[in-house]
Every structure is written in structure tokens, then in C-alpha cells.
Amino acid sequence: MNYADHQLGIYLQGMFADQKPAITTDLAALEHAAATVLAPEALGYITPSAGSGATAAANRAAFDRWRIVPRMLRGSAQRDLSTTVLGTAMPAPVMIAPVGIQTLAHPDGELATARAAAALGLTYVHSTQSAHSFEQVAEASGDGARWYQLYWPTDPDVCVSFLERAKAGGYTTLVVTLDTTLLGYRPRDLDRGFLPFLHNVGIANYLTDPAFLAKLAKPVDEDPRAATLHWAQMFPNPGLSWADLPFLREHWDGPIVLKGICAVDDARLAADHGMDGIVVSNHGGRQVDGAAGSLDVLPGIAEAVGDRLTILFDSGVRTGSDVFKALALGAQAVLIGRPFLYGLALAGQAGVDHVLRCLLAELDLTLALSGYGTHRDLTPEALLPT
């Protein structure tokens, strides 16, 4: 597939149909555009990172420290961006990050995103904290590839039930988020006293779960507050340790990926514990203020465990050029979060589609213009540190 053609398509539509894109094509401007349509609570929940925002700034600064050195005359007329990650075939090394509560951005929420991803063949990662359930998302996703992201609850029954529902719903790989055993310190939400889950938004997987419901004294609609509080007791899980991982293997026979790895030693531990992959991530800066930029820790991790683990990446990715850099520094695929969410806010499924097409077009163009017929040839040599 030639993603770059999307650009010419826009120009031709401009010329022949006098039509402009309904949403900006400037991927770095999407946040600003989305801010004009999002409700204040939604904007406050989606956009900021933890504390003073230093980690989000570090994520961006890390990208600025690496510069692409394009190569010329390497015959890159055909690009092949396809790849296979942990058995999942992908037309491009780009995945939909497991963003929760997408109804904050748009009423269609996860369903719109899953449909857009499936239409493009991209893998959708379903968040435990979704506003739609495993089953609803699976139906929307249809034949599309999908993985499941676990926030590991303290109740093992619910955990096992989640894994079983994921399997039944065709989610093939398990992504375990480690960096959010407690919520980060988020002043904009705190200043509003606003946590969406406490309004029973974004806990659809729980409210449809037999194991969860079994622990409630009354049906949810009779005592919604009790359901909320039950969730609030089950979600925090800072006691998790490496010794808990065999429990997952016992209940999940597909690949397991640990998300939230920032330290080289943790990447090694993941390999030592038989994990299949990791996502190098600081949760888009939403958890620990003052943390290292995610891209700043990627090269060391790739060097240490690149031959033992599948390495995925997120946090701070905004453009196709960013994806190029993360791939060059050792990621096998990149998860996109806020950009698609801004597209969702602006135009639902069509907005997600627009953002993903633009990002893939820019990635494809960056590869072509930098002399790469496939992203699989990228190495750190493609970049210059500054």
C-alpha cells in the first residue's frame, strides 16, 4: 500500500472538487483544534500530563534531540511498511494505543476508533478502562486485528474473567500496563474534583463483567455508587511484582507484552521472566512528573534486549517523522494515542481515519524521501544526535 498517495489525493480533491480537508493535516496542530470542541472536563482529562507537565515536555524534547539524515538516490519508489508483530500482521508499524474512556472525546468512543483502525488494517488495542465493553468493541472491530490492554485488578476473579472475555472476543495479544497501579498526580482533574470513572464512565468492561457484578450487593442501576466504589477499591494495585507474572501465563496463552518500561534493568527483567515484548512508554507523561523522555530511554533498552524481546514504543509521538525516529532507535512498531483521540473529538470515525491516513502518509513520505524502501532497514545510523 502506498500511503504517500493520500497527499496527492488531497491536492487533487482541492483542484478538481474544490474541497479542503475538514480537519487540519498539521498533526502538531491537532491538540489546538480539538481544544475548540472538547468540553472543559474532557480537555482537562485528555490533554495534560502529570504534575507540572515536565514529562510531556521531555517526551517532545527527546524527539528534537534526534535528527533524520536523508539518503539520496536509493531507489525507494516502492515502500513496504508491512510487518508482523508477535504474530499479528500489520500493514504499517503503527498501532492504536489503548486509550481509555474515548467517549470523553466523542459519543461513539472506542467503537468509532476500532472501526477506523479495522478499515485501515491497523491493530486496535482495547483498554481495560473503556467506555465500551470487550464485546462491543470486538463487534465494531470485526475482522480487524485487536489486542487487549490489562489494568490488572486486585480481584483475581475479575482479572481471569477479563482475560477470558478478551480471548473470546478475538483479542490476540495481552498488553499489561505496569505504570498505572495508582493514578498519577493530575492537577487539572483534581482542581475539578473530576475522575470520570467515579461517574461510571470508562468502566464498561467491569459493569458488564460477571465476576465483578457478582461481588455487588445490588444491581448497578439500583446502587451505582456502590459499583463505583467497588471499582475504586479494585483498580489500584501498587503491590504487583515480578512474582505475579506466572499468574498471567497461567490464564493467557497468547503473547504477553509489558507496557510502561523505562529502565534498562526492567527490560532485562521482562526478558528474564519470559515475556514476549515490552512497550517503552511513560504513559504519555500522565503518570510521573519529571520523568525521562520516553525516546531518551529507548536506545539503551533496544541495545540491551532488542534480540530477546519485541520492543514497541509510545509517548510523545505526534507525526510520521516521530514514528520514523522511534523505529530507527529500535522500536518494531509505535502506538499512537492523543493524535487519533483529537481526530475522534473533531469528527468521530472519520476524524480518526483522517489522522491515521495523514500520519501514515507522512511516515511513508519520510521513508521515501530519506531513502528507505522499508522501515525494517532503519537503524540509528539514519539519525544524527544533537
CA distance linking residue 201 with residue 207, whole number of Å = 10
By CB under 8 A, the residues from 30 to 69 that bind a copy of itself are: 51-52, 54, 58, 63-64, 66-69
Report, in Å, the least distance between residue 281 CB and a copy of itself: 10
Range in contact with a copy of itself (rule: CB under 8 A) among 96-104, 292-300, 307-315, 329-337: 292-300
> DSSP state, 293?
P
CA distance linking residue 353 with residue 29, whole number of Å = 16
Residues 6+ apart with CB under 8 A from 232: 197, 198
Active-site residue, from 106, 126, 230, 283? 283
Going residue by residue from 210 to 229, which x/- string records binding to a copy of itself, judged by CB under 8 A? ---------------x--x-
Give the end-to-end CA distance of the chain in Å, rounded to a whole number.
Answer: 34
> DSSP state, 1?
-
Q: Tell me how many residues contact a copy of itself (CB under 8 A).
A: 103
Comparison of 4 and 131: residue with beta carbon closer to a copy of itself? 4
Comparison of 310 and 370: residue with beta carbon closer to a copy of itself? 370
Going residue by residue from 139 to 168, which x/- string records binding to a copy of itself, judged by CB under 8 A? ------------------------------
Is 370 a binder of a copy of itself (CB under 8 A)? yes
Is 106 one of the catalytic residues?
A: no
By CB under 8 A, the residues from 240 to 269 that bind a copy of itself are: 240-242, 244-245, 258, 260-263, 265-266, 269
By CB under 8 A, the residues from 318 to 337 that bind a copy of itself are: 318-322, 324-325
Burial of 218 (0-12, 13-18, 19+ CB in 10 A): exposed
Binding residue (CB under 8 A) for a copy of itself from 32, 40, 87, 192: 192
Question: Which residues in 226-261 are b (16+ Cβ under 10 Å) and which e?
Answer: ebbebbeebbebeeeeeeebeebeebbebbbbbbbb
Binding residue (CB under 8 A) for a copy of itself from 15, 36, 143, 221: 15
Q: Tally the residues of the chain.
A: 386
Report, in Å, the least distance between residue 140 CB and a copy of itself: 29
Comparison of 135 and 223: residue with beta carbon closer to a copy of itself? 223
Whose CA is closest to 316, among 349, 351, 300, 292?
A: 292
> What single string gives the DSSP state of each residue in 84-131?
EETTEEESSSEEE-----GGGT-TTHHHHHHHHHHHHTPPEEEETT-S
Going residue by residue from 74 to 113, which x/- string records binding to a copy of itself, judged by CB under 8 A? xxxxx-----------------------------------
CA distance linking residue 204 with residue 70, whole number of Å = 46
88-90 and 146-150 beta bridge pairing: unpaired
Comparison of 115 and 338: residue with beta carbon closer to a copy of itself? 338
Active site residues: 283
